[in-house]
Amino acid sequence: MEDENQRQLHPTKSIRCIVKLGGSAITFKNEFETINKEKLETVSQQLRQAMMVSTNSCGKVLGMDWSNRPGVVGTSCVVDDFFYLPALDFTHFIVVHGGGSFAHFQASKSGVHKGGLNQPLVKAGFVATRISVMSLNQDIVRSLAREGVPSVGMAPFACGWVTCEKNIASANVSMVAKAIDSGFVPVLHGDAVLDAAQDCTVLSGDVVIRHLAEHLKPEFVVFLVSIMFFQSCFFTSRALRSITWRYVSGVFDRPPTEPNAVLLREIEVHEDGSWSVLKPKLENLQVEMTVAAHDTTGGMETKISEAAMIAKLGIDVYIVEAATSHSLRALSGELKDNIPEDWLGTVIRFQR
Amino acid sequence: MEDENQRQLHPTKSIRCIVKLGGSAITFKNEFETINKEKLETVSQQLRQAMMVSTNSCGKVLGMDWSNRPGVVGTSCVVDDFFYLPALDFTHFIVVHGGGSFAHFQASKSGVHKGGLNQPLVKAGFVATRISVMSLNQDIVRSLAREGVPSVGMAPFACGWVTCEKNIASANVSMVAKAIDSGFVPVLHGDAVLDAAQDCTVLSGDVVIRHLAEHLKPEFVVFLVSIMFFQSCFFTSRALRSITWRYVSGVFDRPPTEPNAVLLREIEVHEDGSWSVLKPKLENLQVEMTVAAHDTTGGMETKISEAAMIAKLGIDVYIVEAATSHSLRALSGELKDNIPEDWLGTVIRFQR
């Protein structure tokens, strides 16, 4: 069942890109609720660069976060500079982020993903999970705003995203579309949400991205990932597959620590859900993973299957390490027709 | 036009109370973005006391904020204590807060309330206003959670509250109802929102309360106010009215600094929008204010007219100073049939 709002959800302005900010790309995965400020700042700067069509006459970045910051003297307030500024031209982006070292502890300790709000632990965990992820969301919104990106936080829970048996049952995508039409950059995230079958669950940022891509049809999607994170993903899933997947600047055919590991530059998704590697041409390569009904509990399977499901919509998906020259090129859309040899990352496309 | 979600908005559980946390009652009005932590903590404790029907067996408050806090060593994490806790029985509350010393600077400096998102200053101000109010919302949600209140932030902007010529055009009240049915305490607030006629505006917390009251029919509404705030309100409006209103533990007939100032204990709102003071009986009292079409730009007129419009729905409204024994009595619902002589505050009721 789709929300009735879906009927009027299309923004009048075309969306250039939906960006997934891997929670682990912008937080320190092993340090409780700790943001990688340097990386987040670079990511925010790259997003501004990628979005801006024109530059303002004064040339400087006019920040939109006019609030106090702990440990920072004074605000980044530049209000007066705005007075005579002409309207800036931006392409339309949506940002979705994961949790990284935020929210994970709270959700897993309480079992929010398994539901059961009649249990005090689950209810408390739901509250605690939302508090943690909202802290991260606020920091990301503020970082983007400081770089002049007109970011607005839109929590899926508050937006009315509700699941049923962990699949999205309704989602107020129309409000996201309205925000875009008004010139804002909505910043969504994985969230604790209500579930019609089991009271509550955790909705992953990857599922949010796929749903938005399906309904808002961006030109392309970029997953900004981190080496550290996908190393751990790899080791989790290595026993499961005859072909090992790993993201380090993209998807590899085996652990990059092994000799002859090859970056899969271009993966093609077929109508039946199977995959093949277009570039480079490899012998003895057997892809076992297919695009199956997805599983919202997260993990690597969800991530890859969500990316492939987006590609099946005819939307190119780029997987690239965050805050590098490669991520900037992907965000800027320059890879559309041709992937240069010196670009490190993986593109997943629907069969042409 | 009401949102289509309105059709299914009624929660199955009856709502006992909608509480307005006056922004100025929980922040220091004249100190930029500074929370009155002591008062907020007391207010949070009173809300827990008022909501709880049963107490848990271990007797201690089990906090639901498991996140880091700046300046606080360790988290308030008490996860293990939840394991064998029986489900607690709460009455259903909604909290709505204002901005106090948050968001006001950002909104007024940029003119968000006047609209015009094509102006870079207004767009930036919209972003900055939302960042500021979301900071306050997060702090209030966390304070409530630490007191064991299962609070969830629900920003009107993200919930799809949209105005047209500053009146509410659509609002996803159904999501608030769903959150209540799931046993949570939604925490909404005044917010920068999209406006169909002028791009954007500021939706005041008082208007949010009135809309929620109209659609969710709580048993009663409590406005928690502060002396300081309403002093300034009084002086703003004193020239406008032959009867002066001031909230100090309620509404007075003249500045309480003047001799013979009388606390208006019970005000009756009539069908035609006129008012009369039931208690105490005063001679030569002339009430000029009527319940007119409201004005969302805020200020004292909005506050009083919103309170009266709620009363006209048959819902008793209590105006009382926050974090006092009087506010606890109002929140607990003990004033319903009889206002004791020693209770300091004002009740506004529809003519019986």
Residue B307: what pLDDT? 85
Taking the CA of residue B328 and the nearest CA in chain A, the distance in Å comes to 24
Q: A5 contacts in B (CB within 8 Å)? A: 3-5, 160
Substitution target from B67, B78, B146, B161 for chain A, most A beta carbons within 10 A:
B67
Substitution target from B66, B90, B187 for chain A, most A beta carbons within 10 A:
B66
Q: Confidence class of residue B178 from pLDDT cuts 50, 70 and 90? A: very high
Asked if residue B322 has pLDDT above 90, the reply is: yes
Q: Confidence class of residue B254 from pLDDT cuts 50, 70 and 90? A: low
* For residues B24-45, average pLDDT: 94
Residue A83: what pLDDT? 76
- Amino acid in the structure at residue A2: E
**In this structure, what are the phi and psi dihedrals at residue B6, rounded to the nearest 5 degrees?**
-55, -30
CA–CA separation, B9 vs B4, rounded Å? 9
Closest by Cβ to A67, choosing from B56, B125, B135: B135
Asked if residue A303 has pLDDT above 90, the reply is: no
C-beta separation of B348 from B317 below 8 A: yes
Q: Confidence class of residue A237 from pLDDT cuts 50, 70 and 90? A: very low
Q: Confidence class of residue B239 from pLDDT cuts 50, 70 and 90? A: very low
Tell me the two tokens of residue A48: 């501004």
Closest by Cβ to B127, choosing from A88, A117, A145: A145
DSSP-assigned states of every residue in B186-246: EEEE-EEEEETTTEEEEE-HHHHHHHHHHHH--SEEEEEE-HHHHHHHHHHHGGG-SS--E
Say yes or no for a CB contact (<8 Å) between B68 and A33: yes
What value, to the nearest 5°, has the Cα angle with vertex B111 and ends B108 and B116? 165
Report all structural domains of chain A as residue ranges with CATH numbers, in order of start.
15-54+88-350 (3.40.1160.10)
CA–CA separation, B320 vs B222, rounded Å? 7
Taking the CA of residue A16 and the nearest CA in chain B, the distance in Å comes to 20
Residues 6 or more apart in contact with residue B49 via CB below 8 angstroms? B328, B331, B332
- Amino acid in the structure at residue A11: P
Say yes or no for a CB contact (<8 Å) between A160 and B159: yes
CA–CA separation, A298 vs B112, rounded Å? 39
Taking the CA of residue B220 and the nearest CA in chain A, the distance in Å comes to 24
Asked if residue A296 has pLDDT above 50, the reply is: no
- In angstroms, the Cα distances linking A200 to A191, A192, A288, B156 are 10, 7, 32, 22
Asked if residue A284 has pLDDT above 90, the reply is: no
Residue B255: what pLDDT? 59
Asked if residue A228 has pLDDT above 50, the reply is: no
What burial letters (b/e) apply to A242-252, b meaning 16+ CB within 10 Å?
Answer: eebbbbbbbbb
Q: A3 contacts in B (CB within 8 Å)? A: 5
Say yes or no for a CB contact (<8 Å) between A134 and B117: no
Find the DSSP H helices in chain B.
23-26, 37-51, 104-110, 120-146, 173-181, 205-216, 227-237, 300-312, 325-332
CA–CA separation, A99 vs A202, rounded Å? 11
Tell me the two tokens of residue A188: 């969504």
Residue of A nearest to B144 (CA): A127
Residue of A nearest to B141 (CA): A131
Residue B256: what pLDDT? 57
Say yes or no for a CB contact (<8 Å) between B32 and A88: no
ipTM above 0.95, yes or no: no
Taking the CA of residue B196 and the nearest CA in chain A, the distance in Å comes to 10
* Residue B347 β-bridge partners: B266, B318
CA–CA separation, A19 vs A118, rounded Å? 36
Tell me the two tokens of residue B22: 């006056």
As separate numbers, helices (DSSP H) first and strands (DSSP E) second, chain B gives 9, 16
Query: In 3D, which of A111, A140, A125 has the Cα closest to residue B66?
Result: A125
Going along A67-148, which residue ranges are E strands?
Answer: 92-97
Asked if residue B288 has pLDDT above 60, the reply is: no
Q: B160 contacts in A (CB within 8 Å)? A: 5, 159-160, 172, 174-175, 178
Look at phi and psi of residue B273 and say left if phi exceeds 0, alpha if psi is from -120 to 50, else beta: left
Least confident stretch, A19-23, A134-138, B132-136, B140-144: A19-23
What burial letters (b/e) apply to B133-163, b meaning 16+ CB within 10 Å?
Answer: bbbbbbbbbbbbbbbbbbbbbbbbbbbbbbb
- In angstroms, the Cα distances linking A14 to A90, A178, A296 are 11, 12, 28
Residue A316: what pLDDT? 96
The SS3 call for residue B330 is: helix
How many C-beta atoms lie closer than 10 Å to residue A238's C-beta? 13
Q: Confidence class of residue B317 from pLDDT cuts 50, 70 and 90? A: very high
Q: Confidence class of residue B261 from pLDDT cuts 50, 70 and 90? A: low
